[in-house]
Amino acid sequence: MSGRSNGKASIGKPKIAVLGMGHVGLPTALGMAELGWEVLGADSNPKTIAVLKEGRSWFYEPDLEPLLKKHLDSGLFIPTDDVDGAIASATVLFVCVGTPQGDDGKADLAQIENIARTVARNLNGYKLIVEKSTVPAITAQWVKKTIARYAEVENRSAGKGSGNGKKVRDNHAIPEFDVASNPEFLQEGKAVENFFHPDRIVIGVDSERAQKLLESIYRPLNCPIVVTNPTTSELIKHTANAFLSAKISFINMVSDICEAVGADVVNVARGIGLDPRIGMGFLSAGIGFGGYCFPKDLRAFAHLGEEHGVDCALLREVERINTRRIERFIKKVRKALWVVQGKTIGVLGLAFKPLTDDIREAPALKIIEGLLREGASVRLYDPEGMPNAQRVLPEKPGRVTYCHSSYEAATGAHALLILTEWAEFKEIDLPKVRGLMEVPVLVDGRNIYNPAEAHRAGFEYHCMGRESMGHHFPILAREKQAPRRKRAVAAAKPAKANGKLPAVVS
Ligand code: UGA
């Protein structure tokens, strides 16, 4: 997308500014510093910048802080809250600001527009503006138009302000600029690894100058580079996220069929995934996808298609299947516990996926809210996600308890739920957990355990799309140890709403 570019390449070692120091911008900025570029990391939030200057990231992302410290020291990464200044002093501007969901699922592009206007104010020489945020098709065209429009306004007001009635700048004086699309495919929790080992880089350009600049930045990463026009590039990002979401909803639908007919979804996924036309990735059945990207991007993509008269029922169904995972899982908990009211439920995992503290659109939180509505008490643990979770779901004595470990969350529980597949949950000492629980019921929303092993460890084990094990044993572990007479008394008593179960569950 060229704004008056003559298409000639003149490449020195231009300065880079990354605008927006979030989950995309910060890893991108530090990755580029590691590649040897001088990078300004700009964000209008002074608190974010103050934290970065101290060598700390404001969100959890593996390997990010060492890279931050390294390049604060090397001087290649300079955080700043002066966005205008960063734009004025850099040549390549990577736009990594948020594109939250607006009305009707449409992407809210106010922050993108704001950046375009800020660029217009600071267009003091050639600049390449690169969209990295996920944006709907034709956003690059709008960015180009907005920069040109407001740069001309700046021009006119500069003319008015000259005092002698003559314009000091005119339209022809607006410096050249290009707008390109370069979508990111970084996954939270793997952002640094993904930056240095991408499967591919996509660049959407319409000038040779922009193409050469972007290729010179990415060449050291040694991966295929797909060069196309900006609109196609924008669509590639939406299509990738929609396709991956569709894979997840597809396997989740298959998971429900597996449960109904007694098949095993893990083996179905392996059986189909080994076919390279299908691939193994994103075929883990469970409680569905969450996070800041898939749910919002899927809605924005469907919205875009429908706006142009395209039938996007396929995308809408992907979303519907995902939404229904929450109730489906809660039903599983109900089936395991019979009555949820008054039960204590341990929960392992709050973040929308492992290796992040991000809880946005996390399925875990929706499930917890559902169980609280049914009168359960919850004991929660996540290795990184608890501070963020506490902000939306504060501690409430007797109802919502945050714990320091998996074992603490399991203590006294009538069921333990696995809602995020953190590696440390796979490694817990299951017999020890069982000994701490009031009732050894394990409901695994992410299929992290081998059902036979979980059962051998003494659990009644419920999972997703695989055979649940042990939910017919008549007498529970704790009760087995109780003396005969006490057991008979307990069995005769009605269930109490104080969180204690009757002694026999069938
Ligand atoms: C996703 C894409 O994978 C990235 O390529 C993209 O750059 C990013 O969105 C973005 O648009 O910024 P991310 O949201 O960080 O990355 O996380 P994913 O690893 O894709 O997981 C998304 C959700 O799907 C998680 O809730 C995860 O638990 C769920 N999931 C994933 C499944 O339920 N099953 C699977 O087999 C895989």
Pairing of strands 201-204, 460-462: unpaired
Environment class of 84 (CB within 10 Å of its CB; exposed 0-12, middle 13-18, buried 19+) = middle
Centre of ligand 1 to C-alpha 365, Å, is: 17
Mutate to test the pocket of ligand 1, among 59, 97, 132, 188 (most ligand atoms within 8 A of CB): 188
For every residue of 52-101, DSSP letters joined together read HHTT--SS--TTHHHHHHHHHHHSSEEEES-HHHHHHH-SEEEE-----B
Low-confidence ranges of the chain (pLDDT < 70): 1-12, 158-172, 471-506
User: pLDDT digits over 108-150, tens only?
Assistant: 999 999 999 999 999 999 999 999 988 888 899 999 999 999 9
User: What is the three-class DSSP state of 492?
Assistant: helix
User: pLDDT digits over 195-207, tens only?
Assistant: 999 999 999 999 9
Residue nearest to atom 8 of ligand 1 (CA): 187
CA distance 374 to 399: 12
Centre of ligand 1 to C-alpha 193, Å, is: 15
CA distance 503 to 478: 9
Q: In what order do the strands lie in the sheet with 460-462?
A: 400-402, 377-381, 344-348, 415-418, 441-444, 460-462
pLDDT of residue 506: 24
Residue nearest to atom 34 of ligand 1 (CA): 284
Residue nearest to atom 1 of ligand 1 (CA): 187
Centre of ligand 1 to C-alpha 442, Å, is: 25
Pick the catalytic residue from 96, 223, 258, 293: 293
Centre of ligand 1 to C-alpha 211, Å, is: 29
Tokens for 150? Answer: 């407001």
* Atom number of ligand 1 nearest to Cα 288: 33
Tokens for 21? Answer: 């120091």
CA distance 433 to 348: 12
Q: How far is CA 188 from CA 82, 134, 265, 354, 356, in A?
A: 27, 14, 26, 9, 6
Buried b (16+ CB within 10 A) or exposed e, 434-450: bebbbbbbbbbbbbbbe
Residue nearest to atom 13 of ligand 1 (CA): 187
Centre of ligand 1 to C-alpha 118, Å, is: 32
* Atom number of ligand 1 nearest to Cα 186: 7
Centre of ligand 1 to C-alpha 244, Å, is: 8
- The amino acid present at 440, given as its one-letter code, is P
Annotation says 293 is catalytic:
yes
Residue nearest to atom 6 of ligand 1 (CA): 185
Tokens for 51? Answer: 């934290």
**Residues 418/445, Cβ–Cβ less than 8 Å:** yes
User: pLDDT digits over 33-92, tens only?
Assistant: 999 999 999 999 999 999 999 999 999 999 999 999 999 999 999 999 999 999 999 999
pLDDT of residue 388: 98
Mutate to test the pocket of ligand 1, among 132, 186, 266, 329 (most ligand atoms within 8 A of CB): 186
pLDDT of residue 172: 58
pLDDT of residue 173: 76
pLDDT of residue 63: 97
Place of tokens 């929960």: 347
Q: What is the pTM of this model?
A: 0.88
Residue nearest to atom 31 of ligand 1 (CA): 282
Centre of ligand 1 to C-alpha 465, Å, is: 20
Centre of ligand 1 to C-alpha 138, Å, is: 24
**Residues 372/331, Cβ–Cβ less than 8 Å:** no
pLDDT of residue 471: 66
* Atom number of ligand 1 nearest to Cα 421: 28
Query: Which residues' Cβ are closer than 6 Å to ligand 1?
Result: 134, 184-188, 241, 244, 248, 282-284, 286, 288-291, 293-294, 297, 352-353
Residue nearest to atom 23 of ligand 1 (CA): 289
Mutate to test the pocket of ligand 1, among 294, 321, 322 (most ligand atoms within 8 A of CB): 294
* Atom number of ligand 1 nearest to Cα 287: 33
* Atom number of ligand 1 nearest to Cα 188: 15
Residue nearest to atom 3 of ligand 1 (CA): 187
Pairing of strands 92-95, 127-131: parallel
